[in-house]
Chain A
Amino acid sequence: MDLHCLSTIDCNQGAVRAVRFNVDGSYCLTCGSDKKLKLWNPYRSLLLKTYGGHGNEVLDACGSCDSSQIVSCSSDKSVIIWDVSTGQPLRRLRGHAATVSCVKYNEESTIVVSGSFDNTVMCWDIKSRSQNPIQTLKDAKDCITSLQVTDHEILTGSVDCTFRRYDLRNGSCDADFVAAAITSVSFSHDGQCILVSSADNTVRLFDKSSGEMLGEYVGHRTDDINIESAIITNDNFVLSGSISGELWCWDLINAKVVNKLVHNVGKVLNSLSIHPKEDVVLTSSVGTIKIWGQPKEDIKIEDGP
C-alpha cells in the first residue's frame, strides 16, 4: 500500500459533494455545492467542462459507459442527463419527492437508477422518452444514502440500517440489517463481497450470498456524516474517508490499519473514488480533490486516453 498524492485540485465550486472517476478512469467528475458539475482531467489538473443547470447542490454523478453522457442528481429533486460535449442537459427527470442523493448508470447505460431521501429508488429508462420511472423500489423505510449497480444487481444503502441487494436474475431482494444507519455501500471487485460503512464508525465487509460478516474495520470516525468507503482495485485494501480529513486504509484480510493519508487536516474527507483498473484513488474534502497513486506510473496514466 503505497499511495502518494499526485496532484491537488482546487475545484472552486464550493464544497465538493462527490468525486467520481469516469468509466475508464481517465477523467473525473466533481459535484459542487454551487449547483455546478465539473469534468476534469485529474492527472493534469485540467478543467474540461462545467455543467450548470441544477437548481441546488449537486450530490452525485455518474458517467455513461461510452463517456458520451453524464447523469447527475441534486437537492432540487431532479436527475439530469447531460451531453458531455455540448454541456447541455438532454433530459431532466423529475419524479422524486425529495433530495436525490445518489445516482448510477447500469452497465450499458440504458438505465439510470437514482436513490432519494424520499425513501425510494427509481429506475429510469433512458432509451424511452417517458418522464416516469419504469420501476420504483419502495422497500426502504428511510432515506437512501448510497447506491451501486452491477450487470444484474442493484445495491442500496439506507438510513433504516439496512442494505438491500436486488437480484434481477433470481428476482429476489436480500435485505441485510446492520445496527446503524448506512452511509455507503460498494462491491468488491470480484463482486462477491459488499463493503458497508455505517454511522457507528465502522466499515463492515459482508459476504454477498450468505450475508455473513467477513471483516470489520474500525478506528476512524465518521459520526453522522455521509462518508464513503471503497475497496481498492486489487481487492487488498479497504479505504474510507473520515471526519478528520484522513483517508484510512486497512488490510482487507487482517483488518489492520495500513496507512492514513492526510488530505485536509481537520476537515471532513467525504467522498472517494477508485480507479476502475489501477490503484489510483480520488478523494474530496471541502473544496479540493486529491489524486493518489504511484508516482512512477505517472507516464503510463498520462498517456492514457
Chain B
Amino acid sequence: MSDSEEESFCYFGKPLDPYDEDAFPKKKPISVEEQIATDAQGRRRFHGAFTGGFSAGFYNTVGSLEGWIPSEFKSSRQEKAKNVAQKPEDFMDEEDIGEHGIAPQTVRATDDFSTAKKKKKTVSNRLIKALIFPDGPIPGDPVLQTLLTSGNETVGYLLLKNIGIQEKISKQEEELNSPETKIYGCQMPTQYKVSKNVENKQYQIPTIYKEFLEKPKSNTFGLGYEGLDKSHINLFQSSSLVMKDKNNKKVSISGQAFGVGAFEDEDDDIYVKEDMSKYDFELTKEKASNKQQSDSSSLLFGMFKHSKVPLILKKLYLTPKIPHSFSGKHKVRKSRFEPIIEESTPLDRKEINPAIRARYLGENTEKTYTTSKPIVESTSENNEIIGKKENEEEHSPKKDFDISSSFISDRFVSASQKEDISNILEPVQKTEILHGTVEMREAARMKMFGLLTRITTDWHPCAILCKRFNVPEPFLESDHIGFGLKKKTKKRTKNLIFEYQKHTEVEGPLKPGLSTRSNEEDKLVTPNMNLKDTIDSTESCTLTEPVMDSQQEDKQTNPQPVVEVNILDLESLPKDITEKVNVAEKLDLFKAVFLSSSESEDEEDNSKEGNDEAHRTEELKINILSDHLLPKIKPIKEGILSNVNFHEFFKPKKNVEETTTNSEDQSPFVQSCNDLEEAQIDSYGPRLPIEKMEIKGVSKFTVLSSNSEDEWVEKRKTDKRKKSKNKRKHKKREA
C-alpha cells in the first residue's frame, strides 16, 4: 500500500488510542453480546429480536409499572374539560423527542431569523420588504446577519465534497474540454501539435454509478432493497414454507422474511439444498476473470457490449386497399321483392329558388330568377307570388316577414337604380336627391326665405314629453301623437284661463281696449257660424254632446227666439273666416270677461242697424247648418270665472225684468238685444223669421231664468272627469 493510496482515504470519527501490547487489560473486554445500547434511563434501547427495534414504554410494555392508565374525563366548574386535540407528542416518550429519538427536537432559529428560509425567498421580495420597512438604524440587510451567515451547503454536497468527487470530475472534464480534444472547421496551423494521448483518453464514469448503469433499477423500491425471492425453486426438496396460490399454484418462499437482530449475523440460507450448478467440474483457471479482461477491450465506455444478435427488422405491412366502391355508409341490401319506396325527402329551404317555388305553386313563370336581385326589379310579379304563396301556405306557422308592416319600413328608401349583377365592381352612380319643391328651391335661390320656404304643421308632442318640459299639452282633445289626423277625441276640458289666453295670442295681436276685444270675440264667433261646413268632424264631435244637451233644453223651453238672437248678433259683425275653429271653446271665457261691455255695444249697434237686419239674417239662413253642428255656448267653466259670470248674469236679468214690467211699448229691438246676450250664452237653434222675434216677449224670461241655474247643474253632469272636478273645487276655494 503506497502513501498515495492512503491519502485517498478520508477519516471519520476519532481514532482509537494506540493499542499497548505490554499493558494488561484492566477489564475483561465486553463481549459483543453484552454491548447493548441503553437509553437515558439505562433501559435497553435495542432488542435483539428484530432489526430496527427500539425500546418503548416501560420495559417494552405499555405505560408504567402499574400498566397503562387511560386518561380520565374531568370537568368541574373551575376547570372545564377542554376538547383537546391530540398530538403525536402525547404518545411519545421523552427520549423519542430527544436527540436520538424518532422526533428529535432541536434548537433552531425561527423563521424570522433562519437564513435558509430567507434564501428561498426571491430577491425581489426581499428588496420590496427592505423598501417598505426600512426599519432600524441601518437600512437594508442587517450587517451582523451578513457576517454570520454560513455557507448554506447541503449535507449531500458536503459529503461529496469530502469524498472529492467533484474535483475528480472537474479534472476529467477539464481534460475533455481542453481545446486539444477536437477541432472542426479550418485547417490547423502547421506548427500546432496534436498530443498523442488525446485519442486514448476516454471518459471514465465514476465507479459508484457503474453499478446502477449496469443494473438499471426496474422497481420502485429503495436503493439496494431486495425483497423475498419468489422465483427461487428448490430442485431437490420443496421448502418448508409452501403456500398455495389462488390458482392452486405452489409458491415456495425462502430467504429472510424478517429482520435479523442487530447483533446477529445473518444466517446462512438453511433451506437451500445443494445445487449441482454450484460445483465446478473442470480443473481450469478461472475463466470469468479472463473473459472479463478480454471483454473489457470491446466494451464501449467500459460497460456497454456490442450486441451479437442483429436487430430484428420490423416487418412493414402495407395498408389494405379500399375498393373504390366503398363509401363508408352502410347500405341495406335491397331485395327485389320489396316494394319501391318513394323518395320524399323535403327540399331544403335554402335550395329552393323562386323557380322551383313557382313550380310547386303551379305558377307559370317564364322569368328566370336569380338569387340576388334588387327589390326594384321584382315588382308586381313577385308580389303576386308572395301573395299566392301566403294564401296557399296559410296553414304553415311561419309568417312571412312583411317589410311594409314593420316599423323600420320608413328607414329604407327603394333603390332608384337597377343593380347590375354581372358587374359588381362598377361604381354606383351618385344620385342627387333634390329636397323641397320647385317653388321652395326657387324661393331659396332668390333668398326669399319666409312664407315660401316654410311649412308649418301640427305636431303632437306626447304627454310625457310635455310633462318633462313643463309645458301644457297643446292638443288635449287628441290622443294621437305626432302628425296626422286626430282620431280619438276626448272630452277633457282643462279649465285654465291661461290656455285660452295663449291661443288668442297665437291667433292675432291683441288690441287694447275692451270694445275692440269684444269685437274680436265676435270675430271669433262668426267664423264658427260661417264655417260650419268646414268644421272638421273631430271638432264637431267634441261639441256634439254638450250642444245636444243645450239644444234639448232649448227646444223644451223656447228655441226659436234664442236662435234669432244669435243671428242678430252675427249680422252686426264682419265675417272672418281665417280664424281657428276651436274658438267655440273660448267663447265662455270671452263672454265671462267681456259680456257687459258687449251688451251695451250691441244694444247700440242693434238699434242703429235694425234696418239692415232683415236681409242679413236671410243671408245667414243659408249658411246655418243642421242642428247638431251648432256649437255650444254654455259656459264650460266655473271657478274663478264663475263669480264673474254670476255677477254679470244678474245685471241683465234685472234689466230684462225691468223692460218686461215696463210693458211692450219698448222697442222690440232693445229687448231682443237683451235677450240676445243671454241667449248667446245659452244655445243655438233653428233660426226664426224676424216677424216672430217681435212676438217672443215674455216667454223668454223662463228661458233666461232657467238658463243660468240649469246650466250649471248640467255642466256638472257633463264633467265626469275627476281631474277637472278637483280642479274646479280647488278654484272655487281660491275664489
Contacts and interface: CB of A to CB of B under 8 A. Distances in A.
Interface residues of A, number: 45
B450 A213 contact: yes
B453 A178 contact: yes
Contacts of A160: 435
Given A119-B411, A174-B456, A135 B461 contact: yes
Contact of A168 (B436, B469, B481, B502): B469
B457 A162 contact: no
B453 A177 contact: yes
Interface in A160-177: 160-162, 166-177
A123 interface: yes
Contacts of B447: 213, 216
Contact of B449 (A106, A118, A127, A206): A206
Contacts of B408: 97
A170 B469 CA distance: 13
Nearest to B466: A168
Interface string B83-126: 00000000000000000000000000000000000000000000
B663 to A, nearest CB: 53
Given A108-B470, A123-B465, A151-B470, 16 more contacts: A97-B408, A110-B468, A111-B465, A125-B464, A135-B461, A135-B462, A135-B465, A142-B435, A161-B435, A171-B461, A171-B473, A173-B456, A174-B456, A177-B453, A178-B444, A210-B451
A151 B468 CA distance: 10
Interface in A163-206: 166-179, 204, 206
Contacts, number: 117
Given A134-B464, A176-B449, A179-B441, A168 B435 contact: no
B468 A127 contact: yes
Contacts of B471: 152, 168-169
A174 B468 CA distance: 22
Nearest to A128: B464
B506 A211 contact: no
Given A108-B468, A212-B450, A179 B474 contact: no
A223 B449 CA distance: 22
Chain B residues touching A, range = 35 or more
Interface in B439-455: 440-441, 443-445, 447, 449-451, 453-455
B203 interface: no
A119 to B, nearest CB: 7
Interface string B502-534: 100010000000000000000000000000000
Most A-side CB within 10 Å, residue of B410, B461, B482: B461
Contacts of A166: 459, 461
Given A106-B469, A127-B468, A168-B466, A162 B461 contact: no
A120 B15 CA distance: 107
A91 interface: no
7 contacts: A123-B465, A142-B433, A161-B444, A172-B456, A174-B454, A178-B449, A211-B451
Interface in B178-237: none
A35 to B, nearest CB: 25
A164 to B, nearest CB: 9
Interface string B452-492: 01111111111011101111111100000111000000000
Contacts of A173: 456-459, 483
Contact of A170 (B440, B455, B474): B474
A56 to B, nearest CB: 19
